[in-house]
């Protein structure tokens, strides 16, 4: 199948672990991890609000675990206070970035613009911040082949950023769902992830959709794949499964969907068992994204179904040919 190629600019945003919304996400997931470490069958829907001198934790939690909630909140706030040793001691926990990539024929060709806003100490100059961020952060992370003389750098474009985190703004669980997932490049169901145990498909089905899509691409059956799973309350099987390969599939998308239904267990229970989700693994997901990570606990990043998909597609193709 041929794909219509496009040239376009696309921008994605990310925020640091010291951003107030991400502090709230980390607290909610720390509560979830604390419950699962004592009670693997615990049910958690935890929301957190943080602001200057206050952290409010609320939600619906059903568990036999006994938790010290205030101690958990001090633990996670400490993560944002402690800076890793590095070359830029003036940096502080809060910050965000935006990267605009120019695509040519649907493939990334160059970085058009990088925006970084970072909290910093009061003693550093704006010039030092700009020069240091470009050298030690941007040029260290972005491949040099994607940077050119036309790439624009905007470092702290609104001015000084000394007061940050909950001291500078309020934070709330679930307000960075696009940052958590694909930066807007893929469609989003709208539900937040952090603070929810894996029986909630807002979280676990997102992980399964990632797992399915990654295996479809790893199998060679498609160059791009987006998977939608839809559920109704009280109904175990998904009410719909859809695969969209954006015309890059080796077989029709309808056949791809049939393969997914046949090879993946898509009920909440099946997802939990397939991805081993009843473990205290979630606080790490609450900063720097839930997807595209290499840690072994991120089981939805495995591509261990790729070979089975290839074989099933070959068998199905042979059956269709025999008819």
- 202 catalytic? Reply is yes
Of 43, 90, 96, 226, the catalytic one is 96
Of 19, 203, 214, 283, the catalytic one is 19
Paired with 240 in beta bridges are 230
- 135 catalytic? Reply is no
Q: How many CA atoms lie within 13 A of 235 on its CB side?
A: 9
Number of H helices, E strands in the chain: 9, 9
- 105 catalytic? Reply is no
Q: Strand, coil or helix: what is 74?
A: helix
Q: Strand, coil or helix: what is 102?
A: strand
How far is residue 179's CA from residue 189's CA, in Å, rounded to a whole number?
14
What confidence tens digit (pLDDT) does each residue in 273-315 have?
999 999 999 999 999 999 999 999 999 999 999 999 999 999 8
Of 29, 47, 102, 197, the catalytic one is 47
- 127 catalytic? Reply is no
Of 170, 246, 258, 284, the catalytic one is 170
- 291 catalytic? Reply is no
> What angle (nearest 5°) sits at the alpha carbon of residue 185, between those of residues 247 and 157?
150
- 22 catalytic? Reply is yes
How far is residue 45's CA from residue 35's CA, in Å, rounded to a whole number?
11
- pLDDT the model gives residue 79: 42
- 232 catalytic? Reply is no
Paired with 118 in beta bridges are 95
- 136 catalytic? Reply is no
Mean pLDDT by 10 residues, the chain (323 residues): 74 89 94 97 96 91 91 60 58 84 92 90 87 88 93 90 75 94 92 97 98 98 96 95 95 95 97 98 94 95 97 74 47
Closest CA to 223 of 238, 242, 244, 194: 244
Of 43, 110, 130, 200, the catalytic one is 200
How far is residue 35's CA from residue 197's CA, in Å, rounded to a whole number?
9
- 196 catalytic? Reply is yes
What confidence tens digit (pLDDT) does each residue in 48-79 have?
999 988 999 999 999 999 998 888 877 554 44
CB 63 within 8 A of CB 42: yes
- pLDDT the model gives residue 89: 75
How far is residue 182's CA from residue 92's CA, in Å, rounded to a whole number?
25
């Amino acid at each position: 199948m041929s794909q219509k190629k496009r040239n376009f600019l696309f921008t994605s945003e990310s925020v640091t672990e010291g951003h107030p919304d991400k502090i709230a996400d980390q607290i909610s997931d720390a509560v979830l991890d604390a419950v699962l470490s004592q009670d693997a069958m615990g049910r958690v829907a935890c929301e957190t609000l943080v602001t200057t001198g206050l952290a409010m934790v609320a939600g619906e939690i059903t568990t036999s675990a006994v938790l010290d909630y205030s101690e958990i909140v001090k633990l996670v706030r400490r993560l944002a206070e402690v800076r890793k040793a590095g070359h830029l001691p003036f940096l502080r926990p809060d910050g965000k970035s935006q990267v605009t990539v120019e695509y040519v024929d649907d493939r990334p060709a160059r970085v058009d613009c990088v925006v970084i806003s970072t909290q910093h100490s009061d003693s550093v100059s704006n010039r030092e911040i700009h020069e240091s961020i470009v050298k030690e952060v941007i040029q260290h992370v972005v491949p040099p082949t994607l940077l050119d003389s036309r790439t624009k750098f905007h470092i702290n474009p609104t001015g000084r950023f000394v007061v940050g985190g909950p001291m500078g703004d309020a934070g709330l669980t679930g307000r960075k769902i696009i940052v958590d997932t694909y930066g807007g490049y893929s469609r989003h169901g709208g539900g937040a992830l952090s603070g929810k145990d894996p029986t909630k498909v807002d979280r676990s089905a997102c992980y399964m959709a990632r797992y399915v899509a990654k295996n479809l691409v790893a199998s060679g059956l498609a160059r791009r794949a987006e998977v939608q799973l839809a559920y109704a309350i009280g109904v175990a099987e998904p009410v719909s499964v859809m695969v969209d390969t954006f015309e890059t599939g080796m077989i029709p998308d309808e056949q791809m969907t049939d393969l997914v239904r046949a090879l993946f267990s898509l009920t909440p229970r099946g997802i939990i068992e397939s991805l081993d989700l009843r473990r205290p693994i979630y606080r790490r997901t609450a900063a720097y994204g839930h997807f595209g990570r290499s840690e072994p606990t991120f089981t939805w990043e495995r591509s261990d179904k790729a070979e089975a998909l290839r074989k099933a597609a070959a068998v199905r193709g042979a059956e269709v040919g025999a008819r």
